[in-house]
Amino acid sequence: MNRILSQAQKELAQFSRDRLTVALALILPLGILLIYGYAIRLETKNIPLAVQDFDNSPLSRTYVERLFATNQFIPTPLAGTSPLSALDRGTAKATVVIPPTFSRDVAEGSSTVQVLVDGTDVNNARVIQNSIRGVTNFFIQSLPNISRPQGVIPRIRIWFNPGRQESLYIVPGIFGVVLWVFPSMLAAISVVREKEQGTAIQVYASDLSSTEWLLGKGIAYWLVAVAEALGVMLVSFLLFGIRLKTGPVPLLLGTGIYLAAAVSFGLFIGARTGNQNGAVQGTAIAGFLTSFLLSGFIYRLENIPFPLSLLSNLVPARYYIVLTRDAFVRGTGWPGVWYVPIVVGLIGFLLFKVASKILQRMQLLD
């Protein structure tokens, strides 16, 4: 135990002497938090909408007013005579074409308004379609002498995030990405550096076992990772208004285990690769791609198609993001996340075992 701790101490001393890695460890996670936290928003507000009103009657103008009263659309000129020209130029995301017979048709009970939507951004195309339909419905209900049909009225309540703030969805997800990529990268570099500089041979020749060696490194980088986690969460608390919604125990325990798993992943990559570039690229590409794309960070996990969805089951970030979203948004606590520390811990343990197996083979026996 003592040997492990002194190994950890040595590792921390070495870490703090290398300016570049210290900067990497502390600045990069915050930089990524800021960029992702501010720049990833899926739903567009202020959608530029052009209207071609052939009717130009009081009724059609009321309809147009309703459209812009939602604060979701901002009026944009048509840029030509064709309803398509503004869309082709990209100055409008949708064009509403009101037919010349609009008010007459409405009085007679049926009219059709054409809505042309730029389908390039698939998600916002859906948002636009939905809100124009919603506005149209409100408009119909406000029409005089309309017999309101008896039917089903859904009373929709949005739970956990009633204002539908996207930052509450994105920011806890960033924790999953950042706290995986950087701890693992640092750990991987530290293993490989010893290999490159030849100090690993001294360790192989000493009576320090590979498990002890890796544990010492692991503890050191786990502590660095904890500092990163605290920094990232503190900044999110201050800038993005992220607050704990439940008792802190699941988050603390889960984060501790997640960081340990991330460090183990780094040790594993470090044990596998021979040079620093390979280590950095391995953790950057494998860690980043999987925790960014296969974790449900941006879009729903269920949307990942079949062969990839199997792979996503092995991505610890996917479980940890469930836990952070629970801690900061949902607030259910253990009943919703009990399995997260178990699965993540298991993956981390396996990675560590494999890493120490690989290094054991290098060990010189006496």
- In the shown chain, the binding pattern of residues 139 to 168 toward other proteins, with x for contact by CB under 8 A and - for none, equals xx--x--x--xxxxxxxxxxxxxx-xxx-x
Amino acid at 117: V
Candidates 111, 206, 211, 360; binder of other proteins (CB under 8 A) is: 111
Q: How far is CA 190 from CA 227, 287, 305, in A?
A: 18, 17, 36
Q: According to the binding rule CB under 8 A, does residue 125 interact with other proteins?
A: yes
Name which of 12 and 97 has its Cβ closer to other proteins.
97
**Applying CB under 8 A, which part among 86-94, 218-226, 262-270, 357-365 lies near other proteins?**
86-94
Name which of 96 and 219 has its Cβ closer to other proteins.
96
Q: How far is CA 44 from CA 79, 120, 124, 126, in A?
A: 22, 13, 7, 11
Name which of 33 and 219 has its Cβ closer to other proteins.
33
- Give the chain's radius of gyration (CA, Å): 28
Name which of 300 and 361 has its Cβ closer to other proteins.
300
Q: What is the DSSP string of 301-331?
A: GGGS-HHHHHHHTT-HHHHHHHHHHIIIII-
Name which of 205 and 311 has its Cβ closer to other proteins.
311
Q: According to the binding rule CB under 8 A, does residue 16 interact with other proteins?
A: no
The two three-digit tokens of residue 113, written as one number: 């308004």
Candidates 114, 197, 199, 313; binder of other proteins (CB under 8 A) is: 114
Name which of 318 and 352 has its Cβ closer to other proteins.
318
* Closest CB 209 distance from other proteins, rounded Å: 28
Q: How far apart are CA 349 and CA 343, in angstroms?
A: 10
Asked if residues 225 and 312 have their Cβ atoms less than 8 Å apart, the reply is no
Candidates 11, 55, 124, 271; binder of other proteins (CB under 8 A) is: 124
Which residues in the 234-293 window bind other proteins by CB under 8 A? 276-277, 280-281, 284-285, 289, 293
Name which of 193 and 217 has its Cβ closer to other proteins.
193
The two three-digit tokens of residue 199, written as one number: 């100090």
Asked if residues 279 and 191 have their Cβ atoms less than 8 Å apart, the reply is yes
- In the shown chain, the binding pattern of residues 87 to 106 toward other proteins, with x for contact by CB under 8 A and - for none, equals xxxx--x-----------xx
Q: Which residues pair with 97 in a beta bridge?
A: 52, 114
Which residues in the 298-357 window bind other proteins by CB under 8 A? 298-300, 302-305, 308, 312, 322, 325-326, 329-330, 332, 335-336
Compute the CA torsion angle 257, 263, 269, 271 (nearest 10 deg).
Answer: -110
Place of tokens 């992220």: 242
Which residues in the 26-45 window bind other proteins by CB under 8 A? 28, 31-32, 35-36, 38-45
* Closest CB 320 distance from other proteins, rounded Å: 14
The two three-digit tokens of residue 108, written as one number: 């007679």
Asked if residues 5 and 216 have their Cβ atoms less than 8 Å apart, the reply is yes
The DSSP symbol for 258 reads H
* Closest CB 170 distance from other proteins, rounded Å: 9
**Applying CB under 8 A, which part among 49-57, 110-118, 205-213, 344-352 lies near other proteins?**
110-118
Q: How far apart are CA 291 and CA 287, in angstroms?
A: 6
* Closest CB 152 distance from other proteins, rounded Å: 5
Amino acid at 69: A
- In the shown chain, the binding pattern of residues 178 to 217 toward other proteins, with x for contact by CB under 8 A and - for none, equals -----------x----------------------------
Q: According to the binding rule CB under 8 A, does residue 56 interact with other proteins?
A: no
Give Dmax over CA atoms of the chain in angstroms. Answer: 98
Cα atoms in the 13 Å half-sphere on the side-chain side of 232: 33
Candidates 76, 131, 360, 363; binder of other proteins (CB under 8 A) is: 131
The two three-digit tokens of residue 294, written as one number: 């296969």
